[in-house]
Structure 1
């Protein structure tokens, strides 16, 4: 789609939403006589954020931020990060073939499948990091707001934020009894119940208890077994949050959260047969299996297999704050986290067992941060240090009994078990200074030193039934033969390690260390000529720590890590409030110089040819622009359009292997999962029905441009552009104490897919969500 046609399409799709303004325009003169709003009345401009680890109005923060309240997310049906494309310009979500979520902002993400892969876009609960993407599924429970920070966030938010950060702010106790719940029921018998109760226990102690339960029937339909369904939901979580203020200058906040996920993993759609190593074990039925239809609901999966997950996450944090006056405020953050995973995944989207996986794993995390901030004269400062310890045990049983991988050198190969155990220790020391050069100009500087020590305690492709051991022995002999050495091999016991160390041609687990340090920094200047205009320019450098993969490794070389990546970011932007607060416009242009981008590529193997491994792209770059506008032309009407343009490019001369094992020069290609254009428009018009009740009607449009799921820009791996529409209408009390909303999502039942990938002998796609209808009742007390 050309840029002209994209803009034309954006205008056409915006037009229906713009029609919502027509009823209100008749009252424009009346609204004008009633008095215009002030900038502080502008809903978006008045949002208080903590992006700089202190409270400030979003319009006074000189960086690109998107913020939304918990109520706004509920209205839009945003229940997890997969739906943030509706509200965050430049944000992309996709799942890998192993079900691991990947977040990308402005083209910066990490397409890795391992449980222990540190993301390029990090997530936080009240500034406490949740370090791995698999743990982030339930972070949207009972939110006060969500802040999305764009660009490198290395100075204040740690070392793994080359792309940005998602900061979830939990709802807090109130000074009097309050409560609320949201109850939704929709298509496929989907029930979503969320509620909270907050109250003071004593004059100094307050509590807030929150819970959420989601259940629903499977919406995916089997192509070959009428009546067979997949995708049921069963998700439960709860939180207890205590705030104790024993004195006027001391506050302690305790957050205890627990969740379990027993929902079914979704199946990809089968698209095309592409044999990894063609052979007689591939059934003719799989070779000739029909391509999935253009229907978001239709796929297929292995019969008589239970795809229910059993994932559990436990989060505890303790925040202590001591206020010593304007010049000194001490904050301590302590956190313990545990994640346990069992997640079966359908790999090929057919009833044949070409590929299926069962992922097991656990993560233990300890985090401690101590910082001091305050204001002295014209200077506002933050200094601090933090420490994080992570232990990750990642196991995946790979099942491929009807595939080309089921025989190696003529030896039948049973199930295998890639396994890694990693230990991570991260130390950071940071400082930030904002200095008011005048009443209109402020200079900003931040710096962080990070020492990231990652250790691969054990990395191996483990035998399960003795077959991988026999194959490993054959590979050992083959390697000796190629080297002109006596053909020998070392027997491997059942359950032993079959991965081969090429140095001594012995089966043994990989052990390695990757210790690196870096210096992240940020410099900026902002100019505020009036209270309604903020102009800013920033330059920053952020780093993301190196990583070891978890994969089916024939040799220990596949466990070689990638080194840390770095982004040097230039950004200039403006935040403008106009028309007495009825227009809020935020825009930015940016350029990223990207070094050592981390990707899951391939390296040549002596026995199997190119096999998966992590690699670094030496040079690449991104430039682009975004515009986010909130319009309140008349009382009751809000229109919020946003658009992002991204131009990403791999550096010249980057040579690796594509998804089909062919070597190629990918220099000049755009990044996978990085469309040039993204746009969304949300609009709502509310009007009084009587003295106590308002009615409202609204809608949301999302446009996602075309991109590709891998290097090589193969057509079979393309992700086509798509546009989806949501609609809503309902009634609410004038004081918003209750609201009844009827909604439709993907109103036109648009067929689209969010990921495209090759696994074993097939190319597959993850389809988007089908059309759904439902209602939500929200009540506050």
Structure 2
């Protein structure tokens, strides 16, 4: 594990914290998949999967070292953790084909995620834990359609996900201890739609939207009841769209323009939903101009990302109580460049 430098209460300023461990995971599975055509228009799909998981984390140790690499304190003594679990999951669904360009479907599936070890344990033995297996019941209704001689493609779906023991990392704001936890009950419901339109042989338009409503139904984090809070990294509305336009295609090569716009409403990065850590809505604009030689051997691109130079966060961690600041990851600023390539 990579060491980290941090000023941790109770330790000399600038200590190096380093952990090390050996981890082994084994997963065995048997699965089946089937489909049955009830009629020319209606198909039944399904499958089952049995999984057996075993894991061990041995020789775990975490130490505080001085700037010269000399041991200051052993924080987590040599420890061993193990788990063994099994699961039966599956899916069942119906496809209804209206015609060659329209399909309706309905699915139910039970998903499973094996237990996990906390590789971010550094400061306290309480961080050394195993998260329980995560399970999800997923319901989805959707449609896949094409129109106008298949020049327009529209796919849409609505869904409801019910989680039990959802896994996540929690950071204690007073000590920076990172604990791998389970939220006993949570759910996600929403919908999404994607549209692609070939306006002409030279122009394609793209657009997609997503709507989310998330809620923790039962859970205690850092001694706080988080029932009713929203899940992290879950904006209620997102949009992504763009265009691809060919402006020239001839002996001199192919020139094309591409533009992309993405937008997300406000969101939290942690389940305590601390107001000051909330990321406000923001939009990002990117694009590139491409050239490809007529023989396809050479290509070049002038590109730019976050062209409006929007300031935004990609994650935020509350460390105010113990350290007097919040730990933030900031999104990349305006970035641009030129790329040249060749095929051999």
Could you say which TM-score interval applies, normalised by the shorter chain? 0.7 to 0.9
| Counterpart residue number, 2:210 | 644
1:690 Cα offset (Å): 4.9
**How big is the shift at 1:572?**
1.0
* TM-score calculated relative to the size of structure 1: 0.40
Match of 1:205 in 2: none
Answer whether contact 1:724 1:747 (CA < 8 A) is retained: yes
Does residue 184 of structure 2 align to residue 618 of structure 1? yes
**Closer, same or farther: CA 685–563 of 1 in aligned 2, 3 Å:** same
Q: C-alpha displacement at 1:553, in angstroms?
A: 4.4
Q: Does structure 1 residue 426 correspond to structure 2 residue 48?
A: no
CA deviation map 1:716-774 (0-9, x unaligned): 32222211111233444567565443222222222222111235623122222222333
Does residue 221 of structure 2 align to residue 656 of structure 1? yes
Give, in angstroms, the shift of residue 514 of structure 1: 0.9
Give the distance between the partners of 1:763 and 1:428, measured in 2 at CA. Answer: 43
Distance in 1 of aligned mates of 2:342 and 2:263: 32
Deviation for aligned residue 1:563: 0.8
1:773 equivalent in alignment to 2:336:
yes
1:454-603 to structure 2, matched below 5 A, reads: 454-462=55-63, 464=65, 465-468=70-73, 497-499=74-76, 508-550=77-119, 551-555=121-125, 557-601=126-170
Shift of 1:675: 1.2
Quote how far apart the aligned CAs of 1:443 are. Answer: 1.1
Gaps of 5+ in 1: 1-394, 469-496, 500-507, 658-662
* Structure 2 counterpart of 1:715, from 275, 289, 306: 275
The structure where helix makes up a greater share of residues is: 1
1:624-675 deviations in Å (ceiling 9; x for gaps) = 10011110122211001011111111114x2221xxxxx3211111111111
Deviations 1:542-579 (A, max 9, x none): 11011121312433x43231110001000111110110
Pairing 1:672–2:237 present: no
CA contact (8 A) 1:686 1:694 kept: yes
* Residue number in structure 2 paired with 1:189: none
Instruction: Give the structure with the larger strand fraction.
Output: 2
Question: Would the aligned equivalents of 2:247 and 2:257 in 1 still touch at CA under 8 Å?
Answer: no
Helix, strand or coil at the partner of 1:716: helix
Alpha-carbon distance change, 511 to 695 in structure 1, aligned in 2, over 3 angstroms: closer
1:466–1:778 Cα change, 3 Å? closer
**Equivalent residue number for residue 417 of structure 1:** 18
Q: For the residues of structure 2 that align with 1:615 and 1:745, how far apart are their CA atoms? A: 36
**Unaligned ranges ≥5, structure 2:** none
Verify the 8 A CA contact 1:638 1:685 in the aligned structure 2.
yes
Task: Indicate the SS of the match to 2:116.
Answer: coil
Residues 650, 424 of structure 1: CA spacing in aligned structure 2 closer, same or farther, 3 A cutoff?
A: same
Decide which of 309, 312, 319 is 1:749's aligned counterpart. 309
Deviation of the 1:466 alpha carbon: 4.7
1:183-582 alignment runs, 5 A limit: 395-400=1-6, 402-406=7-11, 414-462=15-63, 464=65, 465-468=70-73, 497-499=74-76, 508-550=77-119, 551-555=121-125, 557-582=126-151
- C-alpha separation between the residues in 2 aligned to 1:778 and 1:696? 16
Bigger Rg over Cα: 1
CA 1:739/1:553 → structure 2, altered by over 3 Å: closer, same or farther?
closer
CA 1:498–1:640: 2 relative to 1, 3 Å: closer
Number of equivalent positions: 336
Does the CA-based 8 Å contact 1:443-1:525 persist in structure 2? yes
SS at match of 1:538: strand
Indicate conservation of the 8 Å contact 2:142/2:157, yes or no: yes
RMSD: 2.7
Q: Provide, for residues 45-92 of structure 1, a one-character-per-residue CA deviation record: whole Å limited to 9, x for no partner.
A: xxxxxxxxxxxxxxxxxxxxxxxxxxxxxxxxxxxxxxxxxxxxxxxx
User: Residue 90 of structure 2 contacts residue 111 of structure 2 at CA under 8 Å; is this kept in 1?
Assistant: yes
Deviation of 1:582 after TM superposition, in Å, equals 0.9
More relative contact order, 1 or 2 (CA 8 Å, 6+ apart)? 1
